[in-house]
Chain A
Amino acid sequence: EIVLTQSPVTLSLSPGERATLSCRTSQSVTNNFLAWYQQRPGQAPRLLIYDTSTRATGIPDRFSGSGSGTGFTLTISRLEPEDSAVYYCQQYGTSLLTFGGGTKVEIK
């Protein structure tokens, strides 16, 4: 099983600032098959990024993904109040799908 470790656990930033979220995996992710999801309070998760860097339909371009191997990053270039949420990474480089523990982004 590939274990995903996200950091930081909590990120507190002001609107307009840049957020950098990290996802490290216990082994290299085949084909860089990594996705990111946003979960706002009381809502279901929403797909943001797949294949490490491809934005899902309707996702604004201030969300971007990068990385390879065992290190991946989600960047939110200019935070907006509605970005307050928990963000999860998920690997699908093996048939046993696993998620990271999440990073909570708070907007000051």
Chain B
Amino acid sequence: EVQLVQSGAEVKKPGESLNISCTVSGYTFTRYWIGWVRQLPGKGLEWMGIVYPGDSDTRYSPSFQGQVTISADKSISAASLHLSSLRASDTAIYYCARHIQAYYYDSSGYPHSSYYFDYWGQGTLVTVSS
């Protein structure tokens, strides 16, 4: 059974940093992209970025590029999301999700990858407050 188990809820002060972990089981960690999705309070879903544990290749949404760091540790089958210089606006639930890769071709015939999410962690609530 595929499982993604995230670290527990966090309360942080503005300016602090934070790591959220996502430990997986039930599949070969290095064979699937895994990434993070943010859900602001009472709002929808935003894709943040992904890592390929096989070679640590990472890709970020432009909205989160430079704001977060995503990594993976093959030795413990875990992905991590690092948030630094936290602000109140970072208060949200953060989900890890296993990504399934799909391929499409642009108008020049060049292949690109894209993803949907087949398994999700339970979510980690991050509260940033002074």
Interchain nearest-CB distance for B125 vs A (Å): 11
Q: Interface size class for chain A?
A: 20 to 34
List chain B residues, Cβ under 8 A from A43.
122
Contact of B114 with A97 in the complex, beta carbons under 8 Å: yes
Q: How far is the CA of A90 from the CA of B119 in the complex (A)?
A: 15
Contact of B44 with A102 in the complex, beta carbons under 8 Å: yes
Of all chain B residues, which has the CB nearest A6? B44
Contact of A97 with B121 in the complex, beta carbons under 8 Å: no
Of all chain A residues, which has the CB nearest B96? A44
Of all chain B residues, which has the CB nearest A100? B44
List chain A residues, Cβ under 8 A from B97.
45
Scan B110-130; emit 1 where CB is below 8 A from any A CB, else 0.
001111111111110000000
List chain A residues, Cβ under 8 A from B59.
95
Chain A interface (Cβ within 8 Å of chain B)? 30-31, 33, 35, 37, 43-47, 50-51, 56, 88, 90, 92-102
Chain B interface (Cβ within 8 Å of chain A)? 37, 44-47, 59, 61-62, 95, 97, 100, 102, 104, 112-123
Pick the 9 closest A-B CB pairs, nearest first.
A92-B114, A44-B120, A97-B47, A35-B116, A99-B45, A30-B104, A101-B44, A47-B118, A92-B116
